[in-house]
A and B are shown apart, each in its own frame.
Chain A
Amino acid sequence: MHDRAAFSTSPDRSSNMVLDDPLTRVRRRYHFHFPGVVYAITTVFLAIGAINSQNNLLFWAFGLAVGGMLVSGVISGASLMGIEVARDPIGPSQVNGLMRVRYRVRNSNRIFPAFAINLSERARHAPDRDRADRANWSGRMSEPFAFVPLVRAGETVTVDAIVKPTRRGEARFRCVAAWTVFPFGLTRKSVTFVGTRIALVRPEPAEFVPELSREHDSERSGGRSAPLRALDGHEFFSLREYAPGDSLRAIAWRRTARTGETIVRQNSAATTERLWIVLELSDDPDAGERLISLASGALHRAAARGLVVGLSVPSQGLRAAPREGRGHVEALLDTLAVIPPVGRSGPGVGHTIDGFWLGGRESAWVVSEESPSGRIFAGRGSTRGLRESTSSAEGSR
């Protein structure tokens, strides 16, 4: 068994470093728990036994029990008194993925080291007067928990809490408690800190259909997209004879060996095809979650294939045009993390793709409750007038 986390290697430990953005300490408490009650009862019985029998070693044992209580209070109180905690910004994660909540723990005490510090996120805390600022991670993931075996005097330790989110959305971390039962486990001492961090939990990408891309490619090869060009892309385009200036890395050695002529390999240029992912939500939140998960999968797949993707959620009035770049994809995934799973209905707010306009070399993948596997629209003009083909996503899932 290996000791983990806070006895971490040197980059995670530093001395005399002041925390950048420490959380605010709001409360310090002593909690009595079962071992403490057992200890107290045993101590009382020791006292009674000592008085009753006048057994001097029992008197001493009673004194030792009292000493244990005092020492426990002194050590834990002194070590917790100097604890400061900062919570680093939390990167986005996805449902059923791993989220890393990173804490920096500083012991400002000049003498006492702090041992066995547990860090637990609290879902609720009394100082949360502002309802909008309340923690809401509970229900989205298990309690984030981190353990720091040792923070020496004046030292700062970085430690991670690893959790697995179970629901997408905005996880708001408001309150963290540093607690310890060290040294003897008689009482649980805690110091509560407040400070808000928000982390996005993105939807889990559904296993998206590979046929989407093939369908998409077939549409494109039907004359609506530009022909592939021999450029320095990543996909194979054709073979040709070697010409001076060609890179040696481009030579197709096997073909060269078979034909006796030097043949080089030509790759295609990256496509600039633009794909709209259109999400049609309904009033059913469960179905909405499934569709959002599908849309997330589509985003991931499209981004992986180098497509320029955009996102439209007509029921939410959301329309993010296709743009290049990983950052754009990340932004779209963040959007999927926070959109409500239900769509609004009413006059002027359509539920469907009807009236959605596609430009040149644009296509749309529409996912809705009626066709959760997605429908593909390709070509210029209103989707109402375009040819529609349904992908075989359902069968593949």
Chain B
Amino acid sequence: MTTVRLSRIATLVSVCLSIAAYALADRFGVLAAVAIPVAVAGWWVTELRRAKPVPKLAINLLVTASIVWSFYRVVADRGVEGLTVSVFCQFLVLVLLVKLWDRKETRDVAQVLTLSIFLTIGAILTANTLGMGILVIANVLVTVFAVMSFHIAAGIERSAFNDRTLGALGARAPEPESVAIRAILRSFAPLCGTAIVLGLAVSVVVWIVMPRGVGESEFVGLGQFGGRRTGFTERVDLRRSGLITESTRTVLDLRLENREGFSVGTEGRHVYLRGAVLDTYDGRAWTKSPTAGPIVDMKLQGGKPWQIGPTDAQGAVVQRIVMRDVGASGVPVLAALDPVSVELEADAQLALQTAGRTLTRDGRPGRFAYTVTSIPPKPDEERSQISRTRIVGFRSETIGVEARRVLAQAGVEPDPNLRPPAWDSDACRAIERHLRSNYTYTLDTPSLRAGKDPIEGFLFETKAGHCEYFAAAMAAMTRSVGIPARVVAGYVANEFSAETESYTVRENSAHAWVEAMIADGVWATFDPTPPDGLLRQIRPPARFLAGWQHWLDSMDDAWSTSVVTFDEQSRKKLLGVDVNPAAWVQEHVSGWVAEYRSSDEGSRGRILSRAVLSVGVFGVALWLVARASRALLSGDWTRARTPQATTIHTPELMRAARIYDRALAALRRAGMAKPVWKPPLDHAETLGPSVPAAGALRRVSGVYYALRFGGCVPTAEELEGSVRAVAEIRGRASGRQPVTGAGSE
């Protein structure tokens, strides 16, 4: 094993890890399964077997084909979210594979490493999952090693190439391989480890210090990545298959409390968390009605509750929810039915849809923590007091006939005009029971004939489907017997942990159910999905995997809360101070812009000048920092240490330097201070021949410079002459003779 070989192996490992990280981030396992073996094979053929690499023409053709394919993907599938990053990453993978089958000179290895780093960045842009993060961190370690060893290997190869070119092979004895690898292990590995530790430490510091929430989305889609965790959609499309996810990734954590703060969650108690209320059916899908009712917007500060309704009712349930990774806008604020109070951890914009009693939130993406209080609906105890002012229908007569048949069979009057309003609840229960007992739950979406209403298909043909079919069918049947009903999409929380006294809600807990108006303004929840089917979908992992699942959940939770959703609030908590200079700047700039826009012509100039002054001060500060950095880096701080300079400590030079300093001090006192940047002889010339101090300065400088830069040791007379010259300058300074030309500089 040689240094060069070790470096090449590290490069290959880095490439494989970056491909794996991207494949994991983009959920493109096939890519990893194909690309990694191809990469290893290319390396094995060209490096180990020393076989002839793929001809250059073929390499160029393959790279060109990759470019054309990527361009075609971007053009053909434009508009798809996250496509650009995805295509770019896949293009990088292709080029990497081609490069690994090409001959590998020093420059090629550097290119492969660079592409690998870019691919890793692409993976970060694609997703922030725990697995991807672990792979990225592992790749960082390997890449640092590969890059550092590359620079050693490159020098060795350059040296060998030089020897080959000159025909000087044999002029130097080759180094035994064991020596090389031993040297690497003994000296390089500790340094590499130190570099990794230092780099990671700095990265963590920067990561913590960087202010969050400033400048978000200023550059449109640059750096945005998709893949936020959702398990439900706001459109229940019964013709599209495969929407019910079986992913067990955690979406949120829920703690149920009563008003006193005691946990009221128990194992076996299901909690329906409403996300979206879908009240319009178009023959294919249930969607939100655009005219469902007024929307109340509220800019809510963190820690301050928003009272939506009366909160003093009995049976209020407090839900403390932490959503692990949400998007920036239109995020459903999940809650049980009828939220009456909501409190956010961080500032955000809330919108309440009054008809559906649902909340959405616009704010920073990532972690979203809030507390919402709901009051379960309770129709009046006295059935006689229940009233109904609204009777609805449904478009499908076939479904209406079926609904009426079901109600008649259950002994409930189907006609809403004849049926007392208090029986509406019973009618709903009858339909719910009918669906639960006569239909089969399955995740395999049955195929339907084109043009056939999917609800009718479910009710009369397939008689099997998942929760969305059940909910859609019940809403349709309930409506067709005159009871207002709507489909609700959200999550059902059922996985309760006694240790943490909280529910864990996963993506596969996404669910759809029905809310029906059982009295004026009173909506009740009905779930027509067969319980065994629902439990099969949302059941916790098998017992023998439960330990692993729990461990993975803990890891994922820690990763999500500590890394992925680390936000300004977390930063402030961690640092213990509320300092965000970037936010201060942004706030003030925004303030100035607003002030400028609202001001009259007269005061605009003042505002503008203030802004210009601020920018100027900032620019000067920046310039000074740049100057200091440049001086630090360019070596001005390590000025030329010439042999003469090393004589600074000789007694003669020290004495001459002292005299010279005294002369400068005397000049300063006399008001003829020499500027720092100006050589003394130039300064003497500036003072002019008529100024006696100029001559004295010239004499002192001459002696000092001759010794300092010429190495000429002054005689005793010359030193005495210098001392006299200083005294002469002092004499002028003490006022014995007026000084002219002072302050000319």
Contact = CB atoms under 8 A, between A and B. Distances in A.
Does B associate with A? Answer: yes
Interface of A: 1-5, 7-9, 24-30, 35, 38, 42, 46, 48-64, 66-68, 70-71, 73-75, 98, 100, 112-113, 115-116, 118, 127, 145-147, 149-150, 152, 160, 162-164, 180-185
Contacts of A116: 151-152, 154-155
Given A49-B125, A71-B198, A184 B175 contact: no
Contact of A162 (B166, B191, B638, B641): B166
Contacts of B633: 30, 73
Contact of B195 (A50, A60, A113, A183): A183
Contacts of A67: 198-203, 206
A3 B3 contact: yes
A28 B634 CA distance: 7
Given A71-B198, A162-B162, A2 B225 contact: no
Contacts, number: 242
Interface in B429-480: none
A162 to B, nearest CB: 4
A183 B147 contact: yes
B591 interface: no
Contacts of B4: 1, 3
Name the residue among B110, B176, B192, B640 with the largest chain A CB count within 10 angstroms: B640
Nearest to B158: A147
A63 B155 contact: no
Interface string B184-222: 000110011011001111111111001011111111101
A4 B168 CA distance: 12
State the main secondary structure of chain A at its contact with B: mixed
Given A52-B222, A57-B133, A70 B198 contact: yes
Contacts of A183: 147-148, 151, 191-192, 195
Contacts of A68: 199
A52 B333 CA distance: 24
B148 A64 contact: no
B621 to A, nearest CB: 19
A52 B136 contact: no
Given A53-B223, A71-B198, A71-B202, A30 B635 contact: yes
B158 A58 contact: no
Contacts of A181: 151
Nearest to B223: A49
Contacts of A29: 634-635
Contacts of B608: none
B152 to A, nearest CB: 5
B207 A5 contact: no
B298 interface: no
A27 B203 CA distance: 32
A146 B151 contact: no
Nearest to B220: A52
Contacts of A58: 121, 124-125, 223
B565 interface: yes
Given A162-B163, A183-B195, A48 B219 contact: yes
Nearest to A148: B155
6 contacts: A27-B635, A30-B634, A54-B213, A66-B206, A162-B166, A164-B166
Contacts of B199: 64, 67-68, 70-71
B147 A54 contact: no
Given A55-B128, A146-B159, A3 B175 contact: yes
A326 to B, nearest CB: 23
B533 interface: no
B38 interface: no
B148 A184 contact: yes
A115 B156 CA distance: 11
Given A2-B175, A56-B563, 9 more contacts: A27-B640, A52-B216, A56-B565, A57-B564, A63-B202, A63-B205, A64-B202, A71-B198, A150-B183
B172 interface: yes
B171 interface: yes
A185 to B, nearest CB: 6
B575 to A, nearest CB: 15
Given A74-B198, A150-B187, A162-B166, A5 B151 contact: no
Interface in B1-31: 2-5
Nearest to B582: A51
